[in-house]
Structure 1
Amino acid sequence: MRNVFFLTIGMFTLGFDAYIIAGLLPGVSATYEKSSSQVGQAVSIFTLFYAVSAPLFTSFLAGKPIKKVLLFSMLIFGCANALSAVAPNFTIFLLSRAIAGMTAGLFSPLAVAGAASLVPLEKKGRALSLTIGGMSMGTVLGVPIGLYIANLFNWQLTMWVVVILSFIATACMFKFLPTIPVTPPPAIKERLSMFTDKRVAITVLVTFCASIASLGLYTYLAPLLQDLASTSNLTIYLWSWGLGGLVGSLSIGYVIDYFKKSKTLMVIILTILTVAIICLPLLINVPFLKYVSFFIWGAMGWASQAPQQHILLSYQPKQGSTAVALNSSINYLGSSVGASLGGLVISLGIGTMALIYFAILFMAISLCLQFYSMRKFSQPS
């Protein structure tokens, strides 16, 4: 498990950056004189390029030295964030977010699959949990600390913090990360079989719908809280969501290894996540409980990833990195679609409560798909 830690550092850096724009919306909007819905599309672009690059590059680079690919992707990721910090206009800023998303999409699934290959079978759940937990840890620290730095100085300095972290991650992996076993690249027929596997399709559709609901809603937390709670102070809500994500992602691996039944576990997680989203507007003015709903939202949202990866690895053991990449891709594609839909809702002026309604709708769809998967397909042990 010690070797997995060095991959976790890289995932921490991705988490620090991936959702940080959600907390920096006001500052970026002021710098480039754009609306919050327009700046929200920076999240869409990051996640869209992540979604496209993850399965594409993972399949294309199958059989290549994983450590070298991880180092290259993290280095370019840092350079992309440096470009975000100095972007002279909004177009260049969006371009930099696209490059950052592309390299994050290359790094993340390889890190997760690599972590699983570095440990024995009985510890795979914990390895998946630790690497994904690194990303949630980056979020729990990155978003509120980034917001604090932006309020104290400016949002550009927050991006420079990401650059420094990415170079630290690169140096640590170069120095300490062992060579990761390379799986021989599967034949073209085998690669295509994964994309036509109905079990895989339903599994990633569950991820897609849940991501539209959870991450799409999170992107517009600033205008949502402004309307529901009449506050522009996001910090404590971001801490609540992020701490929940940290607890959920770090503990879920032990639950998977003990509980074994990942599909049943997903039903429980999705149900609790749906209830948490329903409670957001209901508890927003109730002391303490309003933070609990954000905590549970973050915990269940982040906890949902490891069981899905576990299910896909059991379906496609010969194409672990590609299967993990596909799920990561779909997760970020859902985030992109959710952010785009949220921006459309805000631009139409129909009220931020509509964001909640859409989130509940997509959570209901994800639950229906999960029940269908349980009835239709059995999960290999």
Structure 2
Amino acid sequence: MTTDDATLAAGPSAEKRGLPLPMLLALASAVFLTVLTEALPAGLLPAWSADLGVTESAMGQAVTAYAIGTALTAIPLSAATAGWPRKRLLLVTMAGFAVANTVTAVSSDYALTLAARFLAGVAAGLAWAMLVGYARSAVPAGVRGRAVAVVMAGVPVALALGVPAGTFAGAAFGWRPTFALLTVLAVGVIGWIAALAPEVPGRRTTDRAPVLKTVLTPGVVPILFVTVTFVLAHTVLYTYIASFLERVGMGGSVGAVLLLFGGASMAGIWLVGAQIDRRLRLLTVAAVVLVGAASAVLALGSGSPVLVYAAAVLWGLGWGGVPTLLQTAATDTGGDAAQAMLVTLWNGAMAAGGAVGGVLLSALGTEPFPWSVLALLMPVMVVVVAARRHGFPASRPS
């Protein structure tokens, strides 16, 4: 059974129901947990590194370990579990988050912490590889982009509310209780999915597209290039945003900056969700322009708190819809196989971003971060504009 054929498995009246919000919100809660586990170190890095007795650049590799776990395992594990019922597989991945965050909360050993983060990344790889297909399987073709946007709303909500709340909680109670709260959240998400997510069968072996065939599909390579480069640009700066703000005299404003970024991200994904089924290409170009503008403001105006806050808004408005845009483009163009590749490369870029950012921080400080984002976004814009026929077309396939 293909992903789109699984629409029938979600219920005989799926085509008539439109958007099944209870199911989609349950999946959005899984996305929320995934993103919160991934992004929370950005607000806790200074205290976390001091407690474990390592440098901030070394502690930033907790993001890298998470991303490596996803990048190394997303394709092989998604292939190995392709025949599993989707609900059961999603519950297993959420249990993986519960275990990983529990170990992180109690660990006093740097190596054990990295291992726990690697496990969380493995769980994330499995979750990301299936969530888009799971959402698309339950809705009519004409609103699949909107369904993905609802599920991906977990991303900006995590960034707007979860990460700032985690940052404030870390400052008030310490980073260990903050990670322990993630375990409690994981248990709640497991219960929500168990109650609301439908049973959808996995796919037969004959339905799985070979990797080489998918790569050769027109449009797939441009999408994957944009994914790697855009995510690398974002992660270099986002992972070390607390360090960047501290260096420009705004160390006490990390929570406020992340709150603005997350709130703007929610607005961004709302706009994307409303227009993606008609204007995917235009929205992708706009996202690149907005994140580039934010980087330019940070590069030239980081001495002004007002400009830093304005940059956070531009950054969030541009970045909020990027996961939805790229995952929709990948699935439209190359199906589930392209989606699994995107997940792998996305997290490989995250790993590289954490590593490159750590090198920059140790060697040159935080000043090069926004300039590096601008440099990386230039080829992204070129490829998006060039991929007019395949990858980022003006009109999406029905």
With the length of structure 2 as denominator, give the TM-score of the two structures.
0.89
Q: Is the 8 A contact 1:15 1:142 kept in 2?
A: no
2:6 matched residue in structure 1:
none
1:204 matched residue in structure 2:
224
2:375 matched residue in structure 1:
361
Q: 1:314 aligns with which of 306, 314, 332?
A: 332
1:237 matched residue in structure 2:
257
Q: Deviations over 1:136-185 (max 9, x none)?
A: 21222221111111111110001011101111111111122111254433
Distance (whole Å) between structure 2 residues aligned to residue 328 and residue 44 of structure 1: 15
Q: Partner amino acid for 2:387?
A: S
The reply to whether residue 293 of structure 1 matches residue 307 of structure 2 is no
The structure-2 alpha-carbon separation of the partners of 1:307 and 1:376, relative to structure 1 and needing over 3 Å to count, comes to closer
Distance (whole Å) between structure 2 residues aligned to residue 162 and residue 213 of structure 1: 27
Q: 1:179 aligns with which of 195, 199, 211?
A: 199
1:72 matched residue in structure 2:
92
Q: Deviations over 1:329-358 (max 9, x none)?
A: 32222121111111001111x231111221
1:163 matched residue in structure 2:
183
Cα deviation for residue 261 of structure 1 reads 3.7
| Unaligned residue ranges in structure 2 (runs of 5+) | 1-19
Q: Deviations over 1:46-98 (max 9, x none)?
A: 11212222222222222321111000111111111100011131110000000
The structure-2 alpha-carbon separation of the partners of 1:118 and 1:187, relative to structure 1 and needing over 3 Å to count, comes to closer
Q: Deviations over 1:113-137 (max 9, x none)?
A: 2011111112211111111111221
Q: Deviations over 1:290-334 (max 9, x none)?
A: 312101202211212212222222212xx33x3223223322221
Alignment of 1:1-381 (within 5 A): 1-2=20-21, 3-186=23-206, 190-257=210-277, 260-286=278-304, 288-316=306-334, 319-320=335-336, 322-348=337-363, 350-374=364-388, 379=393, 381=397
Q: Partner amino acid for 2:310?
A: V
Distance (whole Å) between structure 2 residues aligned to residue 128 and residue 211 of structure 1: 19
Cα deviation for residue 40 of structure 1 reads 0.4
Q: Deviations over 1:4-63 (max 9, x none)?
A: 111111111112211001111011111111111000011111112122222222222223
Q: Is the 8 A contact 2:83 2:201 kept in 1?
A: no
The structure-2 alpha-carbon separation of the partners of 1:187 and 1:5, relative to structure 1 and needing over 3 Å to count, comes to closer
Q: Helix, strand or coil: the match of 1:234?
A: helix
Q: Is the 8 A contact 2:223 2:391 kept in 1?
A: no
Q: Partner amino acid for 2:229?
A: C
The structure-2 alpha-carbon separation of the partners of 1:250 and 1:377, relative to structure 1 and needing over 3 Å to count, comes to closer
Number of residue equivalences: 375
In terms of mean alpha carbon deviation, does 50-59 or 216-225 score higher? 50-59
Distance (whole Å) between structure 2 residues aligned to residue 150 and residue 277 of structure 1: 27
Distance (whole Å) between structure 2 residues aligned to residue 20 and residue 189 of structure 1: 35
The share of aligned pairs that are identical, in percent, is 25
| Unaligned residue ranges in structure 1 (runs of 5+) | none
Cα deviation for residue 213 of structure 1 reads 0.8
Distance (whole Å) between structure 1 residues aligned to residue 237 and residue 252 of structure 2: 16
Q: Partner amino acid for 2:130?
A: L
Q: Deviations over 1:215-250 (max 9, x none)?
A: 221001112112223534311111111112222123
Cα RMSD after superposing both structures: 1.9
Q: Is the 8 A contact 1:12 1:134 kept in 2?
A: yes
Distance (whole Å) between structure 2 residues aligned to residue 106 and residue 163 of structure 1: 18
Q: Helix, strand or coil: the match of 1:179?
A: coil
Q: Helix, strand or coil: the match of 2:248?
A: helix
In terms of mean alpha carbon deviation, does 368-377 or 34-43 score higher? 368-377
